[in-house]
Amino acid sequence: MKPEPTREGDGRRPGPGRRGPEGRGRGDASGEEIDRTSPAIEVNDLTVAYREQPVLWDVDVAFRHGALTAIVGPNGAGKTTLIQTILGLVRPAAGRIRILGQPVREGRRSVAYVPQRGSVDWDFPTSVLDVVVMGTYGRLGWFRRPGRREREAALEALAKVGMEAFAERQIRQLSGGQQQRVFLARALVQEAPIYLMDEPFQGVDARTERAIVEVLSDLRARGDTVIAVHHALQTVPEYFDDVVLLNVRRIASGPVPQVFTEENLRTCYGGRVPFLHAVAGPPGAGSPAPGAGSPVPGPGSSASSSGAAPSPRPGASARPADGSA
Amino acid sequence: MTAMEFEVQLLAVVVAVACALPGCFLVLRRMALLSDAISHSILLGIVLAFFWVQDLASPVLIVAAAATGVLTVALVEALHATRRVKEDAAIALVFPALFSIAVLLIARHAGDVHLDVDAVLLGEIAFAPLRRFEWNGVDLGPRSLWVMGIILLLNAAFLALVYKELKLSTFDAGLAAALGFSPVLLQYAFMSVVSVTAVGAFDAVGSILVVALMIAPPAAARLLTHRLPLLLLLSALIAAASALLGFHVALRLDASIAGCMAVATGVLFFLALLLAPERGALARILLRHRQRLEFAGLMLTIHLLNHEGTPRASEENRLGHLPEHLRWSRDFALRVARHVEREGLVIQGPGDRLELTPLGREAARHLMVR
C-alpha cells in the first residue's frame, strides 16, 4: 500500500498552522489531516555508504503514526545515519524515503529534530531562549525575524521541560541534562507531527529523564509520532511502543512485545547483549515465527539482498520478525 | 588635523569596521584561518583582471578578486572532502599555490606597474587620499573611502538580512539544513562577502593586515561578551579604536599606518585577554585565589569541629597550630583565619584560640554529611 500524498506539495507541515484549544483533533480526519493508516515515515531499500563502506544496507522500515519508536543497535549500527538520512542531512546511495507520503525535501518540514547534544558548540554566544526560538525559524522562512509570538512559544516550550527559569541564561552555563531539555524544547516549538531524537536520554540526570519521559507521553497523547535512537535496552519496554533493531541491516521492527525478544537482540548485538536479563517479553508472543519472511516489500527490487552482499554479522540477513502492520 | 589626516583616519575606521563585522562570524565558525587564505589568494584575481583590463581602478578587479576568494573556499572544501587531508592542511595547500602564481605573474609581467610587493603586503593607506573620486569635475573625496564605505554598508546589510539564518547555520548546521536554510548556500554567500571585504581592505591595508582586522577585534570582543549582538557591536568598536590608535602611533613614530593598526588590534586583544571581567587571565587568577581561600576556610571549620570539646581542643584549635596540622604556611594560615572571621564562621578566642560560631559549626556539619 502506497501512502497517498496527503497535501499538495507546498512544503509546509500538514495540518493547520497552529494548534487550537481542541488540539490537533486527529479524530476528525478532514482533508487537511494526516492519513493515519499509512506510516508516518516509510523507508524502503535504503542503503547509505560512507566511502564505499556501507553504513546502512538495504533497510526497510515503516514507522507507525502516533507511536513512540526506539531505534536500538550496537555502536556503528547506523542509527544516527538512519535519522540523518531521513532528515536529508546524509545522501543515500539507494532507496526511497517517504515522510507523510512526501519525499524528504518536502516531508522534512513535518519533522522536528533533536540532535545529539555534542553536535553543537555550547560556548556559542547566545541565550537559552534564543536557542529555543531557533525552532520557529522553519515556520518563519528566509529573512523574517522572530517576534513576540515566537518568543512566547519558546517560553511555553521551556516551561514544558521545566527550564523556564533558565530562559535568559547563557547556554554555556547549562549542565548536560539541561542542554538536552533545551534541545527538546527547541523541537517542541517546531510544532511538527513527527519528532526524530538522537539519543535524548544519553548521559542525562534523573530529573531530565523524567522530564523527557513526560514530554514523550504528552506527544503520544496528542497523536504525534516520536522516533528516538536509544541505548538503554532495559527501558525500551517501559518508554516505547515500537522498536527497530538495527545493525547495518534491519534485524527486526514492530511492537515491543513481539519484536523485543532475546533472540532478536542476540542477532542484533552478535551475542553480547547488554542488560539482557532485564528484557521482558517472551519470544514469539503472538508474532510470526522467526524466519517466517518479511511482509515488507523490497528484497526482490534490490540485487544486493543477500549472498553477494557482505553480511556484517552472521545471521543478520535473516529477518526474523516483522510486526509492522 | 589636516583634511588629509582626517580622510585617512576616516578610511582606517571604515576599513576596520567593515572587516570586523564578517570577522565575528569567521571566528564563531572557526574559520579564522580562511580569512588569511582568502586575503592572499585574491591577489591572483587582481593580477589576472589587471592583465585583462589594464586598469588598476577598474571595478572588474574587485569582482575578479572576490571570485578568487570564493574559488579558494571551494578548493579548500573540495580538498577537505576527499578526506585525505585535514581542513587546516587543505587551507595551507590552496592559498600559497594561488598566491605564488600571482607573485610570479607580477614579477614577470608587471614589473613597471605599481603592483609591487610592498603595496600588496602593507597597502598604502597614507596615499589613499591622493586618488580622488571625481564626478563632473567635482571632488567627492578619496576613491577608496567610497569603495570601503559601500562595502561596509553591504556587510551591514548582509548581516542584517540573514542574521537569523547565519546564526542558526553557525550554531547548528544540521538544524539549519533540516529547516530548509541551506548551510552551503549561506556559507558561499558569506564567503563572498568576506572576499569582497578582503579585496576592498587589501587596497588600503594590504593583504596580511586584513587578517588582523578581521580576527583580532572579534576575538577580543568574544572574551568580553556572551551575546551575539553585543559581540558585533564590541568588535566594531574595538576595530575602530584600533584604527585610530594605530594612526596616531604611526604619526608619532613615523611608521607604517597599516602596521600600527594591526599592532593596535593585537594590543587591544591582549588587554582583553588580561582584563576581561570573566574570561580574562586576571579574573581567572583572582577566582582561583578566592576558591583556594574558601576551600581552606571550610577545611579549617571541619578541623575545628573535629577537635571541638575534646581534651586536646585547646592545643589543636590554635592559630599557631595550623601550619603544623594542615601544612599551611604561617602566612597562609593567617589569611585563612582572617577570611573565615570575615565570613562569620570563626571567632578568635583568648590567646590565639579559634572557635566556631554557630554558623561555622552549621557549615562544617553540612559539609561532613554530604
Q: What is the pLDDT of residues A155-203, one digit of tens each?
A: 999 999 999 999 999 999 999 999 999 999 999 999 899 999 999 998 8
- The C-alpha atoms of residue B61 and residue A282 are separated, in whole angstroms, by 75
- The C-alpha atoms of residue A247 and residue A273 are separated, in whole angstroms, by 13
Lowest mean pLDDT across A17-26, A186-195, A269-278, B134-143: A17-26
Query: B181 with B272, same domain?
Result: yes
Question: Which of A10, A106, A134, A198 is the best mutation test for B, with the most CBs of B within 10 A?
Answer: A134
- pLDDT greater than 80 at residue A252: yes
**Is A65 an interface residue toward B (CB < 8 Å)?**
no
What is the domain-level CATH number for residue B114?
Answer: 1.10.3470.10
Q: Is residue B361 very low, low, confident or very high in pLDDT (cuts 50, 70, 90)?
A: confident
- How many residues in chain A? 325
Q: What is the pLDDT of residues B126-136, one digit of tens each?
A: 777 777 888 88
**In which domain, by residue range, is B31 found?**
3-279
A51 chain-B contacts, CB cut-off 8 A: 83
How much is the pLDDT for B178?
Answer: 87
Q: State phi, psi for A170 to the nearest 5 degrees.
A: -75, 140
**Is B316 an interface residue toward A (CB < 8 Å)?**
no
Q: Do B181 and A137 touch (CB under 8 A)?
A: yes
Domains in chain A, CATH or no CATH each: 41-123+192-301 (3.40.50.300)
Amino acid at residue number A325:
A
- How many folded domains does chain B comprise? 2
* B164: closest CA of chain A, how far (Å): 7
Domain boundary, last residue among B279, B314, B333: B279
- Name residues whose C-beta falls within 8 Å of residue B99's C-beta, 6 or more positions apart in sequence: B40, B41, B43, B44
Write the CA distances from B26 to B23, B183, B209, B251, integer angstroms: 5, 14, 16, 31
Domain boundary, last residue among B279, B303, B320: B279
- The C-alpha atoms of residue B164 and residue B88 are separated, in whole angstroms, by 28
Residue of A nearest to B30 (CA): A121
- pLDDT greater than 70 at residue A305: no
- The C-alpha atoms of residue B16 and residue B212 are separated, in whole angstroms, by 9
Question: In the 8-state DSSP scheme, what is residue A20?
Answer: B
Domain boundary, last residue among B247, B279, B311: B279
Question: In the 8-state DSSP scheme, what is residue A46?
Answer: E
**Is B226 an interface residue toward A (CB < 8 Å)?**
yes
State the complex-level ipTM: 0.80
What is the domain-level CATH number for residue B351?
Answer: 1.10.10.10
Q: What is the pLDDT of residues A26-79, one digit of tens each?
A: 333 344 456 677 889 999 999 998 877 888 999 999 999 999 999 999 888 899
- Name residues whose C-beta falls within 8 Å of residue A224's C-beta, 6 or more positions apart in sequence: A66, A192, A193, A194, A195
Query: B196 with B232, same domain?
Result: yes
Q: Is residue B264 very low, low, confident or very high in pLDDT (cuts 50, 70, 90)?
A: very high
The answer to whether A244 and A61 are in contact (CB under 8 A) is: yes
Cell numbers 587551507 correspond to what residue? B91
Q: Which of residues 182-201 of A touch B (CB under 8 A)?
A: 186
Query: B185 with B303, same domain?
Result: no
Query: B295 with B267, same domain?
Result: no
**Is A170 an interface residue toward B (CB < 8 Å)?**
yes
Query: B245 with B301, same domain?
Result: no
- pLDDT greater than 80 at residue B16: yes
β-bridge pairing A225-229 and A68-72: parallel
* Largest Cα span, chain A: 59
Query: B216 with B292, same domain?
Result: no
Reduced to 3 states (helix: H, G, I; strand: E, B; else coil), residue A2 is coil
